[in-house]
Amino acid sequence: MCIRRIVLALIMIVSAMGLPMGGRGATSDELKSVIEARQHDAAALEAKVKQLELALTEKRKEARTLANEIATYDLSIERTEREIERLTLAIEVTEAEIALTTETIIETEEEIQATRGRIAHYLRFLYMYEARSPFEIVLREERLSDFFAERRTLTTLQNHARTIVSRLEVLKENLSSQRRTLEEEEAKRKAEKETQEGQRALLAQQRSLKQALLTETKGREVAFQRMLSQTEKTRREIARQIYQLEKTLEAELAKEAAQRRAQALAGAKPGTFMWPMANAELSQGYGPTSETGFENNVYSFHNGIDFVGLAGAPIMAAADGIVKAKGTNGRYAYGNWVAVEHQIGELTLTTLYAHLADLNYATAGQKVARGELIGYQGDTGFATGAHLHFTVYVEFQTRDMWYGLLPIGVHVNPLMFI
């Protein structure tokens, strides 16, 4: 057989060494069907959650009676239950997407391996062919025309080799892109699971508060109104107490407090702290309530900033640090809170995260990294709805009070550091 025929046979054989025709196609179709079905169901639940949120907003505008309070808890509980169901479906969608991407990566890796094998076959043949001199090839051929035909066939072979090498480069780029997609999908799944855990914590809190309300009032409107009046009165007293404690502390430290605040303000840089909640909005700023837009009869100065996001959203440490303290104030002040101390150059700053759904995710003395989970958004303490209260202290202390461990300190505007 002449060299030309061998080359042509090689091209046909090696060209057939492509992606293995495995049986994974059915699996891909099944995964795509799962994704489509779950997305449809999740969209229906999302619409239901939005309806419940609108109903909650309207219900909170109504007079505060025991019946309305219980109805509000019932709507909140149902909204949270539906959100947990939606997140379950969202996680299933993401896991199906991860499985699909993983399958694509495996197929691409197999095609890369097969393509490398094809390139190796071409290179070995080209090496054998080009090892001989043109004079030797002419002597082997019966006719001169056969010699030129073999040279054209060799050019064809080289072109095939170049095409396959180009294909290999494309496959490598695709593989890198697929792996990035997989990383993004895994990060998305992690975030969804964290959010779902927060919803479960919020649900437990809502059910507990409803039961406490029923237990305390024994289902009687008179008892509820008495409890409501007493709670609001106590909240006003505690708010004034916190304000006075922090003023007293600042006066006691006097020069030292002024120096620390001046040092903090001089060293303040945007980006020092990350937003402690993803996809959140700023609902109240720092300073006198006449300027922050939340005038009320409980407190006149807001010593931090408030974030509002999805109820039960994950709360993250704003920077690397150590959990300085944590505590709960029940239905008063900050509710469930965590404080984290940070060393920012020569500055020692402490961040406060308040109104958390629970205290199961951070321990005093624990090291935390920037962005690490420390809790979930709730509405414990004095809160008109689920949100995160975030304070930055240049001097941080705690006081043992009858309603729990209270965080106080010399504070600065957190927006200067975010």
Please check the confidence at residue 129 and state whether its pLDDT lies above 70.
no
In three-state secondary structure terms, 132 is coil
Please check the confidence at residue 283 and state whether its pLDDT lies above 80.
yes
Which pLDDT belongs to residue 386?
A: 86
Which pLDDT belongs to residue 142?
A: 53
Q: Classify residue 375 as left (phi > 0), alpha (psi -120 to 50) or beta.
A: left
Which pLDDT belongs to residue 324?
A: 96
- Report the run of H or E that residue 287 belongs to, with start and end: strand 287-288
Polymer length of the chain: 418
CA 101, CA 404: separation in Å to the nearest integer? Answer: 50
pLDDT band at 232, cuts 50/70/90? Answer: confident
Please check the confidence at residue 276 and state whether its pLDDT lies above 90.
yes
Percentage of the chain exceeding pLDDT 70: 84
CB atoms within 10 A of CB 83: 25
Mean pLDDT for 37-52 is: 93
Strands 336-344 and 287-288: unpaired
8 A C-beta contact, residue 267 and residue 344: yes
Counting Cα atoms < 13 Å in the Cβ hemisphere of 207 gives: 9
How many DSSP H helices and E strands does the chain contain? 8, 12
Which pLDDT belongs to residue 312?
A: 83
pLDDT band at 287, cuts 50/70/90? Answer: confident
Which pLDDT belongs to residue 19?
A: 44
Mean pLDDT for 294-299 is: 60
Please check the confidence at residue 381 and state whether its pLDDT lies above 80.
yes
Torsion of CA 60, 62, 63, 65, to 10 degrees: -70
pLDDT band at 21, cuts 50/70/90? Answer: very low
pLDDT band at 88, cuts 50/70/90? Answer: very high
- What domains are there in the chain, each with its CATH number? 3-215 (no CATH), 220-416 (2.70.70.10)
Q: 318-374: per-residue pLDDT in tens? A: 999 999 999 999 889 999 999 999 998 888 999 999 999 888 889 999 999 999 999
Please check the confidence at residue 284 and state whether its pLDDT lies above 60.
yes
Structure tokens at 313: 């959203």
Classify residue 414 by its DSSP letter.
Answer: G
**Listed range (71-80, 161-170, 250-259, 403-412) with the worst mean pLDDT:** 250-259
Q: 47-69: per-residue pLDDT in tens? A: 999 999 899 889 888 888 999 99
CB atoms within 10 A of CB 91: 18
Please check the confidence at residue 293 and state whether its pLDDT lies above 80.
no
Which pLDDT belongs to residue 126?
A: 64
Distance of CA 92 to the CA centre of its chain: 17
Please check the confidence at residue 27 and state whether its pLDDT lies above 70.
yes
In three-state secondary structure terms, 304 is coil
CA nearest to 213, candidates 58, 68, 388:
68
Residue by residue, DSSP assigns 101-123 as HHHHHHHHHHHHHHHHHHHHHHH
Find where tokens 């003023």 sit. 247
CB atoms within 10 A of CB 315: 28
CA distances (Å), origin 25, targets 28, 31, 121, 190? 5, 10, 29, 28
Which pLDDT belongs to residue 43?
A: 94
Classify residue 316 by its DSSP letter.
Answer: E
- Report the run of H or E that residue 349 belongs to, with start and end: strand 347-356
pLDDT band at 145, cuts 50/70/90? Answer: low
Please check the confidence at residue 125 and state whether its pLDDT lies above 90.
no
CA 95, CA 114: separation in Å to the nearest integer? Answer: 29
Counting Cα atoms < 13 Å in the Cβ hemisphere of 99 gives: 17
